[in-house]
Amino acid sequence: AAPLDPVALRADFPILGEQVNGHRLVYLDSAATSQKPTAVLDAERAFLTHANSAVHRGAHTLAAEATDLFEDARAAVAGFVGAAPQQLVWTSGATMGLNLVAYAIGNASVGRGAPASARLALAPGDEIVTTAIEHHANLIPWQELAARTGAVLRHIPARDDGTLDLDAAATLISPRTRIVAFTHVSNVLGIVNPVAELIALAQQVGAVTVMDACQSAPHLPLDLPGLGVDLAVFSAHKMVGPYGVGGLYGRTDVLEALPPFLTGGSMITTVTLDSAEYLPPPQRFEAGTQPVGPAIGFAAAVRYLDAVGLENIHAHEGMLAARMAEGLRDIPGIRLLGDAAGVERVGLWSFDVDGVHAHDAGQLLDARGIAVRVGHHCAAPLHSRYGITASVRASAALYNTVDDVDEFLDAVRGIRPYFGVE
Ligand code: PMP
């Protein structure tokens, strides 16, 4: 593919033409949610206009057409992460995917599921290992699972530079470890974590691996089966796709061993008043009416990303991130979080402005039409680790330009002078 031309791509994202507070919109909040190209908006609208119908039911023509489009979408999204269609479960997003896994393992732990489910069951004293840099979505479901099962939660610490301490991981991950859950890329630090090493450590002790791919799937080429991870989640809305839909990838044998989380229609074979038999994956995990329109929009999103090329996206965003970091390091009073040397990154930086609250900094940027995220970004423990409660995060995507970064840097230079901080 040709190198990425963000100016040409911007024409595909109508919202980028908006004015905000009298300025052109500089959207640097794609790690929270990405903007959506016309191709995605059109795909959902075309489906709803011409083929809308409930899938996997009904004998009528539209139902069959909708089912084909829905299953084509599954194949497209599965293929985007290197997987087979049966390995891709539709969820409402990454949070739901992680909760699905944690609740399903909880069900296995009380003896529910097929005989194969026993291998996933947790008993008191078993250990769940996660990291100190997780988004709350990959932390609290494990806290809850530990509380329900008597398992013990342990955390791989991060070093001051934001990298995970693999030596500590090698000690923490022991024969008592049953689950290792970690993020591929932190939504605060932007560092690509050594996930192959974590998976290898987990595999040595037979633990199940769960990866949060929210912040990697939009930015890096992924081959989840090749990586060897057991389960992984991502959200369409961060991948230029719609809200309300996401993917849970699973290794076939792991998905087959996992009992259901939500139950009801669309996930059963036979039902009596007293019991039910469940469909195999992925339908076993898709109780209720499926998110057909969003899934079709999601497929259009991954086709869009593929057409631009994930290598191109990664290179472009890496260039923007490097420019951001160079500029930010030169501004007095700015402390970058996770400014580790020699690591692979995606295009986001979080930083603290000495003497200015993140929310005030964010407001000043907003007055110039620059959209960034402020707060703890759903990673409060990580902020505590750095002795702060909030930071400013700028996150780039394929449609951001060097001009976006330069306008942002110029505005950041003005923050401390504006608030009269020396
Ligand atoms: N994990 C990470 C790393 C994230 O950045 C996010 C979104 N901020 C989530 C999980 C949760 O994703 P969602 O809100 O789409 O469920």
How far is Cα 11 from Cα 8, in angstroms, rounded to an integer? 6
The pLDDT value given to residue 3:
80
pLDDT tens column, 204-252: 999 999 999 999 999 999 999 999 999 999 999 999 999 999 999 999 9
Average pLDDT across the chain, whole number: 97
334-336 and 177-183: which strand pairing?
Answer: unpaired
Q: How many CA atoms lie within 13 A of 246 on its CB side?
A: 25
Counting Cα atoms < 13 Å in the Cβ hemisphere of 54 gives 8
User: What pLDDT was estimated at residue 57?
Assistant: 76
Report which ligand 1 atom has the smallest distance to the Cα of 95.
16
Find all residues with CB under 8 Å of 103, minimum gap 6, and list them.
Answer: 141, 145, 261
Pairwise CA distance, residues 259 & 83, whole Å: 21
For 304, the token pair is 């869009």
Number of other residues whose CB lies within 10 A of the CB of residue 10: 19
| 214 is a catalytic site residue | no
Tokens standing for residue 212? 């949060």
At 10 the pLDDT is 98
pLDDT at 264: 96
Neighbours of 343 (CB within 10 A): 16
Q: What is the pLDDT of residues 155-205, one digit of tens each?
A: 999 999 999 999 999 999 999 999 999 999 999 999 999 999 999 999 999
- Kindly list the protein residues whose Cβ atom lies closer than 6 A to any atom of ligand 1: 93-95, 135, 137-138, 183, 187, 212, 214-215, 235, 237, 378
CA 214 to ligand 1 center in whole angstroms: 6
Q: Which residues in the chain come in under a pLDDT of 50? A: 1
Q: Residue 2: its pLDDT value, please? A: 59
What ipTM does this complex have?
0.98
Cα radius of gyration (the chain): 22
pLDDT of residue 56: 84
Give just the sign of the alpha carbon dihedral 50, 56, 58, 60.
positive
CB 162 within 8 A of CB 185: no
- Using the mean position of ligand 1's atoms as its centre, give its distance from the Cα of residue 235 in Å: 7
What count of Cα atoms within 13 Å lies in the side-chain half-sphere of residue 368?
A: 19
CB contact at 8 A, 299 and 250? no
Give the span between the Cα atoms of 242 and 301, in whole angstroms.
Answer: 8
Q: Which of 133, 184, 187 to mutate to test the pocket of ligand 1 (most atoms within 8 A of CB)?
A: 187
Options 25, 32, 152, 378, the catalytic residue: 378
Cβ neighbours, 10 Å, residue 295: 28
**SS3 (DSSP) at 255:** helix
For residue 59, what pLDDT is reported?
Answer: 81
Query: Ligand 1 pocket test: which of 139, 211, 215, 216 has the largest number of ligand atoms within 8 Å of its C-beta?
Result: 215
Q: Whose CA is nearest to atom 5 of ligand 1?
A: 187
